[in-house]
């Protein structure tokens, strides 16, 4: 019999964890028979029964008296009736700490998960730095080099020769968004990018400020406003410049909102789809095993209907991180002096000619 290697063992354990912890076990512990409400709430163990009754009567009041749709204590105002899975902080830590601490954990759950992702990524790259070898690169080093090499090639194709200057920010933006998106797929994880006002809008606003700083640095104050006016040259263009200035200003202000809403909507829909499949799998399992005593329902894992959608979530999470980064790159390129792009295009033509 072939020996099971460590990678195969870890993959198997991850799949088992995905079936158990991201399925009916967590949902049943929190809701019991109230599967039709469709959300794994974050109320404490002492108040879970009271919260379920209040959710049936008032559609959104939890045991602590806060209004949160379908039993969501900390994120009621953010998620509403959208189903989402229970996470480690609100579902497994909050019930065992004082009420005030639990409320604070629920309020800051998105920064907590974002900071966790940042710390893990920082530890990974710091540990990788000590193993770098230009002569004999390892597999991990080669994978990271391929990733950042591909990103730099994409940035250079859009921005031009000066792309190296902006690669640290854009590459960090892609990595941060990607792993925050993927955090919601992990058992007991949470995608902080599924919340608009605490994460995605902050990313959009940060990118907006970064792009405006680049615009001022490369064009100067006069050139900045001249660009907003449409770079007029003829008399007709100068006459239309007030209209162009207003339209360009509105467009610049809309960019961070559009970036934020696109990322927020897609990741929220992705998480809601997986949570809905979890709920259906648990409900279907209870229908099949109707002869099982009610006391045992809290330990039923449910059918893992959500597993096929994990692969869709992997693809969607990567695409959304890439789209956000790609649009940010285009916004930077639009503000750079046109001479850079002209020189870059001329260089490409010469290369193709040879």
Q: 104-162: per-residue pLDDT in tens?
A: 888 888 999 999 999 999 999 888 888 888 788 888 888 888 999 999 999 999 999 99
With tokens 């990733």, the residue in question is: 147
Give me the helix-helix angle, 201-228 and 307-335, nearest 10°.
20
Q: Which domain does 133 fall in, by range? A: 112-293+302-349
Residue 273 lies in a domain: yes
pLDDT of residue 298: 62
Of 327, 306, 210, 213, which Cα lies nearest the Cα of 263?
327
Using alpha carbons, list the distances in angstroms from residue 183 to 17, 87, 166, 232, 328: 14, 10, 26, 47, 23
How many domains in the chain?
A: 2
Of 200, 181, 197, which Cα lies nearest the Cα of 75?
197
| Residues 174 and 315 occupy one common structural domain | yes
Name the pTM for this structure: 0.74
| Residues 252 and 120 occupy one common structural domain | yes
pLDDT of residue 308: 85
pLDDT of residue 104: 82
Please, which pLDDT band fits residue 59 given cuts at 50, 70 and 90?
A: very low
Residue 59 lies in a domain: yes
| Residues 50 and 175 occupy one common structural domain | no
| Residues 154 and 193 occupy one common structural domain | yes
Residue 14 lies in a domain: no
Residue 24 lies in a domain: no
pLDDT in tens, 263-321: 999 999 998 888 888 888 877 777 777 676 666 666 666 777 888 888 899 999 999 99
Residue 18 lies in a domain: no
| Residues 327 and 213 occupy one common structural domain | yes
| Residues 195 and 161 occupy one common structural domain | yes
pLDDT of residue 75: 43
pLDDT in tens, 215-241: 999 999 999 999 999 888 888 888 898
């Amino acid at each position: 019999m072939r020996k099971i290697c460590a990678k195969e063992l870890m993959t198997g354990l991850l799949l088992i964890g995905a079936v158990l912890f991201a399925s009916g076990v967590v949902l049943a512990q929190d809701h019991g028979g109230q599967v039709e409400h469709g959300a794994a709430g974050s109320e404490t163990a002492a108040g879970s029964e009271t919260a379920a009754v209040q959710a049936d009567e008032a559609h959104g009041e939890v045991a602590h008296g806060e209004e949160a749709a379908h039993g969501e204590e900390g994120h009621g105002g953010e998620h509403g009736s959208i189903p989402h899975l229970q996470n480690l902080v609100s579902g497994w830590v909050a019930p065992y700490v004082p009420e005030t601490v639990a409320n604070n954990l629920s309020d800051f759950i998105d920064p907590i998960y974002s900071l966790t992702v940042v710390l893990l990524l920082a530890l990974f790259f710091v540990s990788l730095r000590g193993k770098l070898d230009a002569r004999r690169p390892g597999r991990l080093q080669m994978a990271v080099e391929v990733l950042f090499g591909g990103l730099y090639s994409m940035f250079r194709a859009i921005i031009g020769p000066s792309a190296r200057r902006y690669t640290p920010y854009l590459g960090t933006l892609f990595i941060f968004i990607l792993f925050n998106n993927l955090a919601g797929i992990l058992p007991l994880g949470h995608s902080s990018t599924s919340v608009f006002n605490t994460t995605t809008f902050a990313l959009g606003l940060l990118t907006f400020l970064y792009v405006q700083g680049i615009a001022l640095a490369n064009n100067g104050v006069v050139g900045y406003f001249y660009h907003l006016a449409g770079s007029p040259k003829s008399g007709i263009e100068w006459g239309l410049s007030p209209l162009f200035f207003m339209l360009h200003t509105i467009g610049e202000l809309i960019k961070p909102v559009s970036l934020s809403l696109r990322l927020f909507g897609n990741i929220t829909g992705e998480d809601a789809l997986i949570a809905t499949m979890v709920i259906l799998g648990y409900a279907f399992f209870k229908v099949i095993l109707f002869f099982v005593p009610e006391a045992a329902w809290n330990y039923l894992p449910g059918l893992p209907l959500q597993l096929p959608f994990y692969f869709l979530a992997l693809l969607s999470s990567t695409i959304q991180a890439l789209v956000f980064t790609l649009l940010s790159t285009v916004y930077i390129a639009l503000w750079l002096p046109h001479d850079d792009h002209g020189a870059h295009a001329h260089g490409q033509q010469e290369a193709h000619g040879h």
